[in-house]
Structure 1
Amino acid sequence: MTILTLLLYTCITGLVFYVLQLLNLRTPHPNRLPPGPTPWPIVGNLPHIGTAPHQSLAALATKYGPLMHLRLGFVDVVVAGSASVAAQIFKAHDVNFSNRPRVSGGKHIAYNYQDLVFAPYGPKWRMLRKICSVHLFSTKALDDFRHVRQEEAAILAGTLAGAGESTVKLGELVNVCITNALARVVLGRRVFVDVSGDGDLKAKEFQDMVKELMVVAGEFNIGDFIPALDWLDLQGVAKRMKKVHDWFDSFLNTILEEHKSGSSGGDFLSTLLSLKDDADGQGGKFSDIEIKALLLNLFSAGTDTSFSTVEWAMAELIRHPQLLKQAQEEMDTVVGRDRLVTEMDLSRLIYLQAIVKETFRLHPSTPLSLPRMATESCEVNGYYIPKGSTLLVNVWAIARDPKMWTDPLEFRATRFLPGGEKPDVDVKGNDFELIPFGGGRRICAGMNLGLKMVQLLIATLVHAFDWKLADGLDPEKLNMEEAPGLALHRVVPLMVHPKPRLAHHAYISG
């Protein structure tokens, strides 16, 4: 039997197998589902998704409203696209939507759902969350490692100050800085010796693999929605997921063995290993697989989303030089020009904080929230949500809703200043018109660490340098197009010339 014949046979078998479900697809539901586009046979609304799902779903919402129902293959999907709908979900129905659907990313990348991101809601997930909250993201832990973040920010500033007239790819340097800061806390050491990346292929390889992970994890895999086609891997998504998982697994196995045989202590991984054989009383024992899955979360989402936010912020400030100048004037008043900014300064930098919020609004690191699943049927916004439905919250669309924001496509930091339209709105999950980290029980566990790192790095780059685009490019013509993927990256990396503006000794670290 030829491959073509086998493929044809499989497809015909799949069509016959699902004919009853197809009939159900065409049969009106006895309850009132949210509105949405008419699904196609078999594939449902998958053709409506496109390469940038957050954008295509936002466009559909202008026709069908802030709560939509889609049929992706044979899976019910509801999309929340307004602050009021998100508030209902995260307040009244948070527990019901605290589970994750079983998707290929959790299976092939995240050690078969053993990580914090994809783990089912229950005792094991609560154990993982508690360990991270206590030992990594608590106020005490963040304060204890403040010096690490500041030292790595100073190293980045020194590297940029030494760049001279060279063009630098800012995102890559920021990524190395964030990865080293996280690695020192988690592993007790830096993983990239040279922040510039010169001659260090490992740094470039690591960044490429993290980027690939975030891109492939953001794919709408046909096999997740039409199970009969899963084994065919028509898009090659599963193959790419397995490849990136194998690379990370090798990297993490090396780190784990080094820690087990070494004399490390005081870092997060050493803490995890000390807890490994302790029964937690609810979720069983902590395994090597769970440790690696947790490290995978930290070294992918924990670095990739933060560096992309910093890159977007600097791109916006270069496009709006008057905002950059105002932020620099504030920092010269608060910090001066004889030293670098520190985390202790951030609470007094009101304009800088507004810039960070506006960056999170226009460029949320995860524009379409990680999928959740309805454990039981429920009612949201007057509509019936079937049990087992996948929930997507369009964070990107909510933050650009013209009903909630004046001139929503404009980068306008003043909207968050006293006297502005949203002076009291924060990004920590309580103000539903701005939820870049999500909301409810499954809000991003590393939110507070991510906020501190992003604020410090944006403050450092704004305070310590003036900026010009490479090749004399006009800032007004800077490409601001978004790349596809789970995280919101730029299609064109930001290439810049940094010019030091502080006293020379301020850039000498250590």
Structure 2
Amino acid sequence: MASLSLFSSQTSQPAAYYLLFTAVALPLSLLIVFFLLVSRKNKTKALNLPPGPPGWPVIGNLFQVARARRPFIHYVRDLREIYGPIFTLRMGARTLIIISSSELAHEALIEKGQQFASRPAENPTRNIFSCNKFTVNSAVYGPEWRSLRRNMVSGMLSNNRLREFRGIRESAMERFIHRLRSEAEASDGAVWVLKNARFAVFCILLSMCFGVNLDEETIIKIDQVMKRVLITLNPRMDDYLPLLRPFFSKQQKEALVVRAEQINAIVPLIEKRRQILSSPNKDPNAAPFSYLDSLLDLKVEGRNSAPDDVELVTLCSEFINGGTDTTATAIEWAIARLIENPLMQSKLHQEIVSEVGERAVDEKDTEKMPYLQAFVKELLRKHPPTYFSLTHAAAVPGAKLGDYDIPMGANLDIYLPTISEDPRLWTNPAGFDPERFLSGGEKADITGVTGIKMIPFGCGRRICPGLGMGVTHITLMVAKMVQEFEWGVHPSQPNIQFDDKLEFTVVMSRPLLAMVKSRK
């Protein structure tokens, strides 16, 4: 999930800024370049930028963000109280403009969607892994992006295509429940929720992406490589102060090593799929279609050739990474809420039993379960897996937002929690209450088309293309987990704490260890 950006394969940039600065002082050499930036500073002054905290020469607000007593994902609320729903931060060479209201999000993503449909420049490390922005998420707004997105949506994530992977999801769910049951039997009923949910989602996306059968050992190895990629993509100080880049040559070399590991792990899967497609005797265990199939001969506007193997690695990795941690994070928050409120869990189980009886619940069944659907919508309102949608950027000069100037090189970031918890839009926004969506109660279009009240997938032209897939996976997994097990507190965690922290997504600050009791 992106936003819940199912395809937010990178950690949202602003949400990681508080990690950027350590106790090491900036090299004195920074002072030498001060006068080189004066002209840029003067130009910035001529613009009518949104208000924001005063910063230091050259480094801007990096010190304030690094020394804040709270993580950046919460520090934004403090800044909002001072400067309002749109404010500016100068992070070294980068300018961030953060918006945090429904009105401004609607103006930026719907009313002026085309103006703010691009992405800002990336750092060299991220360019290594994105093949110079050759992905759906990172591509600048234009023909190349349209080709990649069109292919992902129509060739992979349409409702018809998603239904074709029903068998893969059923198989993965059986493996998932078996893993939970085995872990519980070996641990006196205790299971780690996030770890198991993440593995289940990763298995589904691997199968959807490559259409090949893999043993568990291979899956674990690929997963480890993907995690190293995400860690490597964490922001560094030289991302915001490029003149420090020579001091980070070691990290740049390490990034090249990780990239080589990623390529070496994924190319054999690409070759295996090619062999399956070219073989006259089709492997009966292979999927009839995969995301990779749509990429092998993809015609991208403005290019004369289909993606090469390295670009295929990039596009496949985007698909897998984008939907793994976001979905797994949602599952952990979901189970925490059900443990906290046994009555809610009981209502959900009763609805499942009423609909399917003793047979295994299927994703088609979940479409007929209004309480389950309301629970998932409330889950995404209260616990979006990312607190920032993927960064936008102005695609045209002279763009304005809220009567302020938005430079083309600036990062435009949308902060989601203050939108989905706005008391002007929601009754009791701090509470977790699926009932709000039932019996003609509150309504919310998570796509933002009919009005922005919650946009866990972003909205507008750059809305997460995996919206349908993400909701399907979350809904099915919650239904399966509740049908098979009664979920309760573990003695080591008698009081569920809903504090959060940033990893690749916004996860529970204390990983959830739960007790399960089989219902069968």
Q: TM-score range by the shorter chain?
A: 0.7 to 0.9
What per-residue deviation string (whole Å, max 9, x for no partner) do you get for residues 323-343 of structure 1?
11121122222222x112111
Structure 2 residue identity aligned to 1:149: R
SS at match of 1:471: coil
Aligned-partner Cα distance in 2 for 1:272–1:160:
34
Match of 1:90 in 2: 109
Is the 1:429–1:443 contact (alpha carbons within 8 Å) kept by the matching residues of 2? no
1:382 and 2:403 correspond? yes
Aligned-partner Cα distance in 1 for 2:418–2:228:
24
Match of 2:131 among 97, 105, 111: 111
Aligned-partner Cα distance in 2 for 1:382–1:410:
34
Match of 1:435 among 433, 440, 455: 455
Is the 1:437–1:447 contact (alpha carbons within 8 Å) kept by the matching residues of 2? yes
- Worse overlay, 100-109 or 23-32: 23-32
Displacement of 1:89: 0.3
1:222 and 2:237 correspond? yes
Displacement of 1:60: 0.9
> What runs of 5+ residues in structure 1 fail to find an aligned partner?
1-7, 194-199, 503-510
Is the 2:225–2:265 contact (alpha carbons within 8 Å) kept by the matching residues of 1? no
Alpha-carbon distance change, 36 to 461 in structure 1, aligned in 2, over 3 angstroms: same
> What runs of 5+ residues in structure 2 fail to find an aligned partner?
1-23, 280-285
Alpha-carbon distance change, 227 to 450 in structure 1, aligned in 2, over 3 angstroms: same
Match of 1:469 in 2: 489
| 1:53-452 superposed matches below 5 A | 53-104=72-123, 106-162=126-182, 163-164=184-185, 165-193=188-216, 200=217, 203-215=219-231, 217=233, 219-233=234-248, 238=252, 241-262=255-276, 263=279, 266-269=288-291, 271-272=293-294, 274-276=296-298, 279-280=299-300, 282-288=302-308, 289-336=310-357, 338-375=358-395, 376-420=397-441, 422=442, 424-430=443-449, 431-452=451-472
SS at match of 1:372: coil
Aligned-partner Cα distance in 1 for 2:489–2:93:
48
Calculate percent identity across the aligned residue pairs: 26
SS at match of 2:87: strand
Aligned-partner Cα distance in 2 for 1:470–1:31:
55
Aligned-partner Cα distance in 2 for 1:232–1:89:
37
Runs of 4+ in 1 over 6 A off after TM superposition: none
Is the 2:391–2:411 contact (alpha carbons within 8 Å) kept by the matching residues of 1? yes
Displacement of 1:296: 0.8
Match of 2:16 in 1: none
Match of 1:42 in 2: 58
Alpha-carbon distance change, 132 to 484 in structure 1, aligned in 2, over 3 angstroms: same
Is the 2:445–2:453 contact (alpha carbons within 8 Å) kept by the matching residues of 1? no
Match of 2:517 in 1: 499
Displacement of 1:22: 4.2
Match of 1:5 in 2: none
Structure 2 residue identity aligned to 1:256: I
Is the 1:216–1:485 contact (alpha carbons within 8 Å) kept by the matching residues of 2? no
Is the 2:209–2:320 contact (alpha carbons within 8 Å) kept by the matching residues of 1? no
Structure 2 residue identity aligned to 1:87: H
Aligned-partner Cα distance in 1 for 2:196–2:363:
20
Is the 2:115–2:394 contact (alpha carbons within 8 Å) kept by the matching residues of 1? yes
Aligned-partner Cα distance in 2 for 1:481–1:349:
30
Is the 1:109–1:242 contact (alpha carbons within 8 Å) kept by the matching residues of 2? no
Alpha-carbon distance change, 303 to 80 in structure 1, aligned in 2, over 3 angstroms: same
Match of 1:3 in 2: none
Displacement of 1:286: 1.9
What per-residue deviation string (whole Å, max 9, x for no partner) do you get for residues 194-218 of structure 1?
xxxxxx4x5555445444544554x
Is the 1:135–1:268 contact (alpha carbons within 8 Å) kept by the matching residues of 2? no
Is the 1:154–1:340 contact (alpha carbons within 8 Å) kept by the matching residues of 2? no
Is the 1:48–1:56 contact (alpha carbons within 8 Å) kept by the matching residues of 2? no
Aligned-partner Cα distance in 1 for 2:64–2:426:
27
SS at match of 1:391: strand
Is the 1:346–1:456 contact (alpha carbons within 8 Å) kept by the matching residues of 2? yes
Aligned-partner Cα distance in 2 for 1:65–1:82:
9
1:481 and 2:499 correspond? yes
Displacement of 1:23: 6.6
SS at match of 1:54: helix
Displacement of 1:410: 2.2
TM-score by length of 1: 0.86
SS at match of 2:45: coil
Is the 1:327–1:351 contact (alpha carbons within 8 Å) kept by the matching residues of 2? yes
SS at match of 1:157: helix
Is the 2:488–2:515 contact (alpha carbons within 8 Å) kept by the matching residues of 1? yes
Displacement of 1:305: 1.0
SS at match of 2:491: helix
Is the 2:355–2:365 contact (alpha carbons within 8 Å) kept by the matching residues of 1? yes
What per-residue deviation string (whole Å, max 9, x for no partner) do you get for residues 377-436 of structure 1?
21211222223211111123322333333333322222222343x2x2132233422111
Match of 1:507 in 2: none
- Worse overlay, 398-407 or 78-87: 398-407
Match of 1:33 among 49, 56, 67: 49
Aligned-partner Cα distance in 2 for 1:484–1:472:
23
Structure 1 residue identity aligned to 2:472: K
Aligned-partner Cα distance in 1 for 2:149–2:28:
45
Aligned-partner Cα distance in 1 for 2:103–2:416:
12
Is the 2:49–2:404 contact (alpha carbons within 8 Å) kept by the matching residues of 1? yes
Alpha-carbon distance change, 272 to 407 in structure 1, aligned in 2, over 3 angstroms: same
Aligned-partner Cα distance in 2 for 1:306–1:60:
29
Aligned-partner Cα distance in 1 for 2:96–2:292:
41
Structure 2 residue identity aligned to 1:180: C
Aligned-partner Cα distance in 1 for 2:157–2:220:
28
TM-score by length of 2: 0.84
Aligned-partner Cα distance in 2 for 1:215–1:80:
27
SS at match of 1:284: coil
Alpha-carbon distance change, 388 to 473 in structure 1, aligned in 2, over 3 angstroms: closer
Is the 1:215–1:484 contact (alpha carbons within 8 Å) kept by the matching residues of 2? no
Aligned-partner Cα distance in 2 for 1:221–1:463:
44
Is the 1:106–1:118 contact (alpha carbons within 8 Å) kept by the matching residues of 2? no
Structure 2 residue identity aligned to 1:49: V
Displacement of 1:62: 1.6
SS at match of 1:233: helix
Structure 1 residue identity aligned to 2:200: C
Aligned-partner Cα distance in 2 for 1:415–1:26:
50
Aligned-partner Cα distance in 1 for 2:466–2:154:
12
Aligned-partner Cα distance in 1 for 2:99–2:215:
40
SS at match of 2:425: coil
Alpha-carbon distance change, 426 to 257 in structure 1, aligned in 2, over 3 angstroms: same
SS at match of 2:328: helix
